[in-house]
Structure 1
Amino acid sequence: MQALVNGAVIADAAPADIVLIEGNRYFPPTSITAGALVESPTPYTCPWKGVCQYFDVITPEGTRIVDGAWSYPNPYDGAEERVGHVFANYVAFAPGATFTD
């Protein structure tokens, strides 16, 4: 499965490697296109997943999507058990991203 932003492939992973959490597809960190994400200073903490790291998405033509992706580097204790899968550092994408099989 691929995650595309403005038609550019930002992540590419086998469907079995995608983790679905609250309707969002989380891609493994190894599937993210090099240089596509830049850390954002936007703060957010999910009450059950933990402290979130937002990213700006940078497409090959240089378009910047502010806070277009996010990750949980250190999920709270019990969060991965609740989801049923390890998801530390997996990356989800904001509405506007499209997905192909």
Structure 2
Amino acid sequence: MHLTAGLIHALPVHERRVFNREEAASYVGVSPGHFKKLVDNGDMPMPLANLGCVRRWDKAALNTVLDDMSGTADSNEVAPSAYEAWSSARGQG
């Protein structure tokens, strides 16, 4: 008997926690090239670390940046967001 492992189909984009660059760009409403410029300028978060050679962006981190940009972030927030705590712990924030 010969078993072969097939790839598991990816979740639909709206159900994913992480995006590749093209998906992240689409999620925030810009082209992939412009998204790269935003990341390089520090206007969008860097990709997640420790995912090997692939670059993936966390949906929650993108939401945090978008909330801050749009002014919808809760200004009365007492504790830092999960992304801020993660970023600060790694010396990125």
| Same fold, judged at TM 0.5 (above) | no
TM-score w.r.t. length of structure 2:
0.28
Of Structure 1 and Structure 2, which has the larger fraction of its residues in helix? 2
TM-score w.r.t. length of structure 1:
0.27
Question: Larger RCO: Structure 1 or Structure 2 (Cα < 8 Å, ≥ 6 residues apart)?
Answer: 1
Of Structure 1 and Structure 2, which has the larger fraction of its residues in strand? 1
